[in-house]
Amino acid sequence: MQVRAAVLRRMAAERPYTESHPLTIETLELAEPGPGEVQLKIAAASLSHFDLSVVDGNRPRPLPIALGHEAAAIVEAVGEGVFEFEPGDHVVTAFVPSCGRCAQCRNGRPALCEPGNAANDNGELLGGGRRLRDADGQPVNHQLGVSAFAERAVVSVHSCIPIPKQVPLTLAALFGSAVLTGAGAVLNAGRPTPGSTLAVIGCGGVGLNAVMAGRLAGCREIVAIDVTPDKLELAKSLGATRFFNARATEIVEAVREATGGGLDLVVETAGSLPALELAYQITARGGTTVTAGLAAPDSALTVNQVQLVAEERTLKGAYVGSCVPVRDVPRFLALQEAGLMPVEQLIDREIGLDELNDALERLASGAALRQVVVFDRHS
| CATH for 157 | 3.90.180.10
201 and 274, same domain (yes or no): yes
Given this model, what pLDDT does residue 78 score?
98
pLDDT digits (tens, 9 = 90+) for 313-357: 999 999 999 999 999 999 999 999 999 999 999 999 999 999 999
190 in the same domain as 172: no
- Give yes or no for a contact between 229 and 203, defined as CB atoms under 8 angstroms apart: no
Nearest C-alpha neighbor of 54 from the set 17, 96, 12: 12
Domain assignment present for residue 347? The answer is yes
Within-domain flag for 168: yes
Beta carbons within 8 Å of 261's beta carbon, 6+ residues apart: 284, 285
Structural domain of 95: 2-176+342-374
**In a shared domain, residues 145 and 252:** no
Q: What is the CATH number of the domain that holds 189?
A: 3.40.50.720
Residue 351: predicted pLDDT: 97
Shared domain check, 164 and 57: yes
Q: Are the C-beta atoms of residues 140 and 134 closer than 8 Å to each other?
A: yes
Domain count for the chain = 2
Strand 197-201 and strand 221-226: the pairing is: parallel
Between the alpha carbon of residue 49 and those of residues 113, 118, 238, the distances in Å are 22, 21, 21
Q: What is the model's pLDDT at position 379? A: 37
200 and 170 in a single domain? The answer is no
Q: Are residues 6 and 147 in the same domain?
A: yes
Please write the tens of the pLDDT for every residue from 115-132.
999 999 999 999 999 999
Residue 329 lies in a domain: no
pTM: 0.96
Distance in angstroms (rounded) separating the CA atoms of residues 123 and 121? 6
Q: Which residues of the chain have pLDDT under 70?
A: 377-379
Q: Does residue 191 sit in the same domain as residue 206?
A: yes
Asked if residue 98 and residue 193 are part of one domain, the reply reads no
Is 379 inside a domain boundary? no
As a three-state string, the secondary structure of 190-249 is HCCCCCCEEEEECCCHHHHHHHHHHHHCCCCEEEEEECCHHHHHHHHHCCCCEEEECCCC
169 with 195, same domain: the answer is no
Query: 101 and 40 in one domain?
Result: yes
